[in-house]
Structure 1
Amino acid sequence: ADIRETVVIAREEEQGQAYLCAYIVSGEVISVPELRAHLSAQLPDYMIPSYFVALDRLPLNSSGKVDRKALPVPDREASLHGYEAPRTTEEALMASVWQDVLNVKRIGVQD
């Protein structure tokens, strides 16, 4: 209910892997884990965005539509709200493998 505007677009990483990114305008700070939990109750996993970016307002073009080219690329490290560190040796090993594959510095057990 706190979200005023949103847009979700497909982006592509350096390796060519596609992902969804949601841009949200809200008057309140939105908890990403809570947002993911809410969405997972209504959408299949592949439709839940990988990244959520909070904006003060959506950029608009001269015709008043969302200017998708002006939307910022998500900061992959800043998007790790709700990070949960690996607890076991097996989880640490899996996190390490995914960090190498995805070329990110930190992977949590919920990622």
Structure 2
Amino acid sequence: VAPIVSSYNEKIRPVLDALENLRRLNIAKEGIQLPTIVVVGDQSSGKSSVLESLAGISLPRGQGICTRVPLVMRLQNHPLPYPELVLEYNGNHVSTDEENVSDAINTATEELAG
């Protein structure tokens, strides 16, 4: 195992796991704020590109306003060798894959924002 991976698994992974456990307990309702990244900016200023870089997946692209609803992305560690992508909106849980995530987000956006 590469030294960086070993260091990550020994030092960073336990902290991230603890944070995820706190999120599951809904600790924010107690007024405790957990680390979060928020991406804001003008239209076509690169917000989706930042999220793509962080998550390693393709988000919808197009002319004009493409992302018309807030997107909350939660990255979690799991043992599978591929990403598990689930969109949650309006009570729906839609599973998708890397190839189709952009289309799934577009479908959800149309349902939410018209």
Normalised TM-score (structure 1): 0.26
Higher percent of residues as strand: 1
Higher percent of residues as helix: 2
Larger radius of gyration: 2
Normalised TM-score (structure 2): 0.26
